């Protein structure tokens, strides 16, 4: 195994960042295609810059964010966070006591680590379900969570969502929806209602996912609950600061579902073109993906055996996409523990600058290259860590 530790993954990430920097220095930002779907952005206007002060900033942008946030998510009140992770932590700190139980329904397990980590921190117990028939709450359950769309973009079924709401409401348990990407994927691509309109008490979304905003989380919900969560957020410094608030407000102002809908159609063509060479390729709502397992199956299909692990292979593939085709995926630049699934998100801003053929040849040629190098340890190490 080449990438068995967090340190090795940090080094791989740093190598990727160095490659990106040197490519941009040589040929400019437009040489790079960030197709991670998480590129984010900071669409401030010139006049915004002078207003990013501690007190002046929130005074000015709060109202705008409140209006645009409610338009995007529904609810009575808006609460902006540094990250969705911070919003999940603040909510669990505010609503869950030691010994309570948190129950989480997802379209597919596991959850983003933010939830189980926060539950552990308060000393509560935790249970996840991805089968609606098995979902249950107990007298100890003080919070029900729902994930609208997983990290791999599995989408909850509307009727399962409504069932969880019905069960939780019958016991008066508050319902909190982690709609990090779901707030847009569910509504724009699958025409589902907003989480709040299906009965959730609170919802949070990430403003850099399928949206051109800074990394941050916006929560919406019932006024009394939002005030409880807000005071916890202030106590622990989890609330968004003026630059992020201004960036989120501008990103919401700019948000246009058209890119996502175009991506939904574009991915069909790319998927069909790749299916003949990479039989294990999968569709996501706005792109394509190949998991570490899928990549291993593809190698095995070609009769290639390797002593490398599944994740090693995925990381090497992501570095080939970056080095040879200037394509950024989460797998190349993510933090340790990030998903080893190669995901190409066509709703990314940079996707407008690449045509389908480029992506199809990058994916198939990178796979060819991968199959040539998997048994050459030196070359693999060089791809992951060499500059
Ligand atoms: C991305 C994501 C998060 C965390 O968002 P951050 O803003 O990176 O903290 C939480 N839950 C889900 C389902 C996600 O996809």
**Any ligand 1 atom below 6 A from CB of 147:** yes
The pLDDT of residue 208 is: 95
- Domain termination residue (choose one: 254, 273, 297): 254
- Domain termination residue (choose one: 254, 270, 299): 254
Asked whether residue 210 falls in the same domain as residue 298, the answer is no
**Do residues 165 and 200 make contact, with C-beta atoms less than 8 angstroms apart?**
yes
Number of helices (H), then strands (E), belonging to the chain: the values are 14, 12
Asked whether residue 188 falls in the same domain as residue 202, the answer is yes
Q: How far is the CA of 275 from the centre of ligand 1 (A)?
A: 30
- Point out the least confidently predicted range of 35-44, 85-94, 359-368: 35-44
The pLDDT of residue 206 is: 98
What mean pLDDT do residues 71-77 have?
A: 98
Q: What is the pLDDT of residues 213-242, one digit of tens each?
A: 999 999 999 999 999 999 999 999 999 999
Closest by Cα among 185, 186, 198, 184 to 144:
198
What mean pLDDT do residues 189-195 have?
A: 97
What mean pLDDT do residues 360-375 have?
A: 97
Report the nearest atom of ligand 1 relative to the CA of 179: 13
Residue 264 CB-half CA count within 13 A: 14
Asked whether residue 152 falls in the same domain as residue 271, the answer is no
Range of the domain at 122: 46-254
The pLDDT of residue 2 is: 77
**Any ligand 1 atom below 6 A from CB of 85:** yes
Q: How far is the CA of 180 from the centre of ligand 1 (A)?
A: 5
Asked whether residue 16 falls in the same domain as residue 141, the answer is no
**Any ligand 1 atom below 6 A from CB of 244:** no
**Do residues 90 and 238 make contact, with C-beta atoms less than 8 angstroms apart?**
yes
- Report the sign of the C-alpha dihedral through residues 286, 292, 294, 295, in that order: positive
Q: What is the pTM of this model?
A: 0.91
What mean pLDDT do residues 348-353 have?
A: 92
Asked whether residue 220 falls in the same domain as residue 283, the answer is no
The pLDDT of residue 301 is: 94
Closest by Cα among 277, 270, 268, 272 to 295:
277
Asked whether residue 235 falls in the same domain as residue 330, the answer is no
Residue minimizing CA distance to atom 5 of ligand 1: 84
Q: How far is the CA of 86 from the centre of ligand 1 (A)?
A: 10
Q: What is the pLDDT of residues 52-71, one digit of tens each?
A: 888 888 888 889 999 999 99
- Domain termination residue (choose one: 205, 234, 254): 254
Q: Give whole-number Cα distances, 70 to 63, 76, 168, in Å.
A: 11, 7, 24
Of 85, 92, 105, the residue with max ligand 1 atoms within 8 A of its CB, to mutate for a pocket test, comes to 85
Report the nearest atom of ligand 1 relative to the CA of 208: 7
Number of domains in the chain: 2
The pLDDT of residue 45 is: 92
**Any ligand 1 atom below 6 A from CB of 13:** no
Mean pLDDT of the chain: 95
Domain assignment of residue 21, yes or no: yes
Asked whether residue 303 falls in the same domain as residue 232, the answer is no
CATH of the domain at 100: 3.40.640.10
Q: What is the pLDDT of residues 314-340, one digit of tens each?
A: 999 999 999 999 999 999 999 877 788
The pLDDT of residue 196 is: 98
Q: Could you tell me the two tokens for 209?
A: 């996912």
């Amino acid at each position: 195994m080449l990438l068995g530790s967090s340190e090795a993954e940090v080094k791989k990430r740093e190598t990727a960042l160095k490659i990106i920097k040197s490519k941009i220095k040589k040929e400019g930002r437009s040489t790079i295609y960030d197709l991670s779907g998480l590129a984010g952005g900071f669409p401030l206007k010139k006049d915004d810059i002078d207003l990013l002060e501690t007190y002046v900033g929130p005074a000015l942008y709060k109202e705008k964010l409140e209006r645009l946030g409610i338009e995007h998510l529904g609810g009575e009140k808006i609460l902006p966070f540094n990250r969705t992770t911070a919003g999940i932590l603040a909510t669990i700190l505010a609503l869950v006591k030691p010994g309570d139980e948190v129950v989480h329904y997802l379209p597919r397990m596991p959850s983003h680590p933010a939830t189980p980590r926060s539950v552990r921190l308060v000393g509560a117990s935790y249970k996840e379900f991805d089968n609606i028939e098995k979902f249950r709450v107990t007298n100890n359950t003080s919070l029900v969570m729902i994930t609208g769309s997983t990290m791999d973009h599995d989408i909850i079924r509307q009727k399962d969502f409504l069932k969880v709401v019905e069960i939780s409401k019958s016991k008066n348990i508050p319902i909190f929806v982690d709609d990090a990407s779901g707030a847009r994927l569910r509504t724009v691509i699958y025409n589902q209602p907003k989480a709040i309109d299906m009965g959730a008490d609170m919802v949070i979304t990430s403003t850099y996912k399928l949206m051109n905003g800074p990394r941050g989380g916006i929560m919406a919900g019932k006024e009394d609950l939002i005030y409880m969560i807000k005071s916890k957020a202030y106590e622990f410094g989890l609330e968004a600061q003026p630059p992020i608030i201004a960036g989120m407000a501008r990103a919401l102002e700019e948000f246009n579902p058209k890119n996502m809908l175009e991506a939904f159609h574009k991915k069909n063509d790319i998927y069909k073109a790749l299916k003949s060479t990479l039989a294990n390729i999968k569709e996501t709502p706005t792109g394509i993906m190949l998991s570490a397992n899928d990549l291993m199956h593809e190698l095995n299909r070609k009769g290639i055996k390797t002593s490398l692990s599944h994740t090693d292979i995925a990381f090497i593939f992501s570095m080939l996409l970056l080095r040879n085709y200037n394509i950024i995926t989460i797998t190349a630049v993510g933090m340790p523990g990030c998903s080893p699934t190669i995901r190409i998100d066509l709703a990314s801003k940079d996707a407008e600058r690449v045509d389908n053929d480029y992506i199809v040849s990058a994916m198939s040629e990178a796979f060819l290259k991968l199959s040539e190098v998997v048994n050459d340890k030196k070359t693999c190490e060089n791809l992951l860590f060499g500059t």
